[in-house]
A = this chain, B = another copy of it.
Amino acid sequence: MSFYTAGVNPMASCDPAAAGSLSEEFAVPAHVEEVRSVMEAFAVQHGAAGRRVVLITSGDTKVPLESRTVRFLDNFSSGRRGASLAEYFLSQGYAVIFLHRQRSLYPYTRLYTGVNLLDCLTLDTVQEGTGLVTVDQTKLPNITEVLKRYQAVKSAGLLLPVEFSTLSEYLHLLKAAAQALSSIGSKAMFYLAAAVSDFYIPASEMPEHKIQSSNGPLQISMKMVPKILKPLVKDWAPTAFVISFKLETDPSILLERARCALDTYKHQAVVANVLDTRHGYVVVVTEDSQTELVLTDEEAQREVEIEDKIVRNLSHAHTQFINQKV
């Protein structure tokens, strides 16, 4: 029994697989065209109003091991960072397309994760028959403030949620988003914060039915997922401001890998972080800069979030990027 990677990669170490035709190996979701139109209308509307639009990807991707899926490979990601980033971009005046894994954390609602809804409600039985249900605000801290912000964003139509679940859905919807945002040029930002699987099993090589455990131990052989960042930057959204991230558990290789990604894909920024310290420390790496963002203890106590700093840094860089293009 062992766990290993095999095969020698003939390409550069940051570019493990080129993205060929997506639809050959990844089934096209039925609703992709419909979602593309909605995103396009959103971009046009907000672009016309002088707003920038950021597309944030968030959460993990599901990689099925069987075509009628019982088992799947997944990545650690609650979607907390993506949901949090969305809120801060909204505060900075952006319109946000939130391309997220189904049931991953959601902007504003994320603040009440892990709370059981029914534990927060009080049934008013004083007036027989009316049954007014109210919120116990000690259970949902700052709920009036959060609700106000949520309702303001919602009524202004500034947040467009789009869901994915599998890796295939993610890839096709991201491509559709890039096409949808092309009309606003450099005013579009792509912040790829989703934890996308590096490996998958092509549909053609998947067993139809659930793998029977009685047949003995399991050997899985997975292909590398094409790096969608390459066609995104080069072909689909060549004028947009594009941000990717690096999350490693081993700090010693982090910055080297971040810089390697920038060199390979020629996009604008990499947000680099280490699993254990990601809520208090990140490095924003660009072609000619490397900026450490640190949350002080005092800030952490005031519930400042690192995403606030990330967004301020990147929206500033986005302004410079737009100005250079003009």
Contacts and interface: CB of A to CB of B under 8 A. Distances in A.
Given A74-B71, A131-B144, A220-B219, A212 B121 contact: no
B73 A214 contact: no
A201 interface: yes
Contact of A109 (B117, B215, B224, B275): B117
Interface stretch (A48-56, A178-186, A246-254, A296-304): A246-254
A222 B211 CA distance: 13
A148 B114 CA distance: 21
B134 A147 contact: no
Contacts of A201: 1, 3
Contact of A222 (B116, B133, B218): B218
Contacts of A221: 1-3, 217-220
How many chain copies? 2
A118 B109 contact: yes
A13 B151 CA distance: 57
A123 B148 contact: yes
Interface in A182-218: 195, 197-199, 201-202, 205-218
Given A133-B143, A134-B135, A201-B1, A14 B117 contact: no
A176 B117 CA distance: 29
Contacts of A65: 3, 73
Interface string A34-74: 00000000000000000000000000000001101111111
Contacts of A73: 65, 71-74
A281 interface: no
Nearest to A118: B150
Interface stretch (A4-12, A93-101, A283-291, A314-322): A4-12
Contacts of A249: 66, 68, 70, 208-210
Contacts of A72: 73-76
A218 B5 contact: yes
Contact of A3 (B108, B147, B220): B220
Nearest to A225: B213
A16 interface: yes
Q: Nearest 9 pairs between A and B by C-beta?
A: A198-B213, A7-B216, A133-B135, A131-B144, A5-B215, A220-B220, A218-B222, A13-B214, A68-B249
15 contacts: A3-B207, A5-B211, A66-B249, A68-B249, A72-B74, A73-B74, A106-B116, A123-B148, A133-B135, A198-B213, A199-B213, A209-B248, A210-B248, A217-B222, A219-B221
Interface of A: 1-9, 13-14, 16, 65-66, 68-76, 103, 106, 108-109, 112, 114, 116-118, 121, 123, 131-135, 137, 140, 143-144, 146-148, 150-151, 195, 197-199, 201-202, 205-225, 247-250, 275
